[in-house]
């Protein structure tokens, strides 16, 4: 049995992490059996981040490596796609995972409006004095990471422009199709739902969440995936 280690649900979505929600959505789309173990502290994960899975006694970290491993073992949602279709799926997944999801998490943890919701939701039950110290330490560590990565060097408006470009691109790539894979979901749908559900369906409010809800096709997409795979 495959075990998925991830954060507990929050903000009215199955997972507040786009990467955890991506993996669990893939498991559901591929019809795989799994069980979930909730973890609060990603430092205990093999690479210090969630999600990771345990499969046949092996720990596998990173959502992209998890999906590749599952594909290699016969659960390949991209199998019906031709080479350009697979390349497109990879490009959409990278756009979601490496850019839009990064902006989504940034606006929750670093922008003040998001932080005012994250802090009580994730740290509210910590005992004092940890409750006063730990949130600021983690936020500072993340802020330093964003400066090193690059997005922490941009103005708020520049970041919002990036987010709008990402959403416009996803809206155009989806077009009138049911899924990014066409009539059936492909691997890109796992990444897309992981981040779009966190923007469109989550109760966490940030400027990027509000912006994402301006795209009716992406809103309908989230509702479709939720009804088909999460009801
Ligand atoms: N590349 C990783 C990213 C996973 C990731 O960034 N997870 C975040 C939660 S959204 C995390 O565990 N962060 C903990 C930390 O950075 O200390 C993947 O695709 O799985």
Task: Say what the pLDDT of residue 27 is.
Answer: 98
> What's the pLDDT at 112?
97
Pocket residue to mutate for ligand 1, from 50, 59, 63, 107, most atoms within 8 A of Cβ: 50
Please tell me the pTM assigned to this model.
0.97
**Averaged pLDDT for residues 54-63:** 97
Taking the C-alpha atoms of residue 160 and residue 162, their distance in angstroms, rounded to an integer, is 5
Task: Evaluate: CB of 64 within 6 angstroms of ligand 1.
Answer: yes
CATH of domain 2-230: 1.20.1050.130
Q: How confident is the model at residue 63 (pLDDT cuts 50, 70, 90)?
A: very high
Confidence label for 131 from pLDDT (cuts 50, 70 and 90): very high
DSSP per-residue string spanning 132-187: HHHHHHHHHHHHHHHHHHSGGGS-HHHHHHHHHHHHHHHHHHHTT-SBTTBSS--H
The CB of 19 under 6 Å from ligand 1? The reply is yes
Q: Please indicate whether residue 17, judged by its CB atom, sits closer than 6 Å to ligand 1.
A: yes
Kindly indicate the confidence band of residue 37, based on its pLDDT and cuts at 50, 70 and 90: very high
Residues 14, 101 contacting (CB under 8 angstroms): no
What pLDDT is attached to residue 140?
Answer: 98
Confidence at residue 85, expressed as pLDDT on a 0 to 100 scale: 98
* Whether the Cβ atoms of residue 106 and residue 143 lie closer than 8 Å to each other: no
pLDDT at position 143 is 98
Question: How far apart are the C-alpha atoms of 197 and 226, rounded to whole Å?
Answer: 9
Q: State if residue 206 touches ligand 1 by the CB under 6 angstroms criterion.
A: no
50 CA distance to ligand 1 middle (Å)? 5
Gap between the Cα atoms of 170 and 130, Å rounded: 40
Does the C-beta of 63 come closer than 6 Å to ligand 1?
yes
**Tokens 């155009």, residue?**
172
Residue 167, pLDDT score: 99
Rounded to the nearest integer, the mean pLDDT of the chain is 97
- Whether 169 lines ligand 1, by a CB cut-off of 6 Å, is no
Ligand 1 centroid – CA 82 distance (Å): 30
78-109 pLDDT, tens per residue? Answer: 999 999 999 999 999 999 999 999 999 999 99
CA geometry: angle 110, 111, 115, nearest 5 deg: 75
- Closest residue by Cα to atom 2, ligand 1, is 62
Ligand 1 atom 6, closest CA: 49
Q: Which atom of ligand 1 is nearest to the CA of 64?
A: 19
Domain boundaries, the chain: 2-230
Q: What is the pLDDT of residues 208-227, one digit of tens each?
A: 999 999 999 999 999 999 99
Question: Which ligand 1 atom is at minimum distance from the Cα of 61?
Answer: 20
Six-digit token string for 2: 């495959």
Alpha carbon nearest to ligand 1 atom 5, residue: 49
């Amino acid at each position: 049995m495959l075990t998925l280690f991830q954060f507990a649900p929050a903000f009215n979505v199955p997972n507040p992490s786009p990467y955890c929600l991506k993996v669990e959505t893939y498991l559901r789309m591929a019809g795989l059996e799994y069980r979930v173990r909730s973890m609060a502290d990603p430092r205990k994960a093999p690479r210090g981040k969630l999600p990771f899975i345990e499969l046949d006694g092996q720990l596998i970290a990173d959502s992209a490596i998890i999906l590749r491993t599952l594909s290699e073992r016969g659960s390949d949602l991209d199998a019906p796609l031709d080479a350009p279709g697979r390349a497109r799926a990879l490009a959409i997944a990278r756009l979601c995972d490496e850019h839009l999801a990064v902006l989504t998490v940034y606006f929750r943890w670093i922008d003040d409006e998001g932080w005012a919701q994250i802090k009580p939701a994730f740290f509210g039950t910590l005992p004092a004095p940890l409750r006063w110290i730990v949130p600021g330490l983690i936020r500072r560590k993340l802020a330093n990471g964003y400066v090193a990565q690059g997005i922490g060097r941009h103005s708020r408006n520049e970041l919002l422009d990036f987010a709008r470009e990402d959403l416009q691109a996803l809206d155009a790539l989806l077009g009138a199709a049911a899924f990014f894979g066409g009539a059936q979901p492909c691997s890109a749908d796992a990444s897309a739902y992981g981040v779009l559900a966190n923007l469109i369906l989550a109760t966490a409010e940030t400027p990027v969440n509000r912006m994402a809800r301006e795209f009716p096709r992406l809103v309908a997409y989230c509702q479709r995936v939720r009804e088909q795979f999460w009801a």
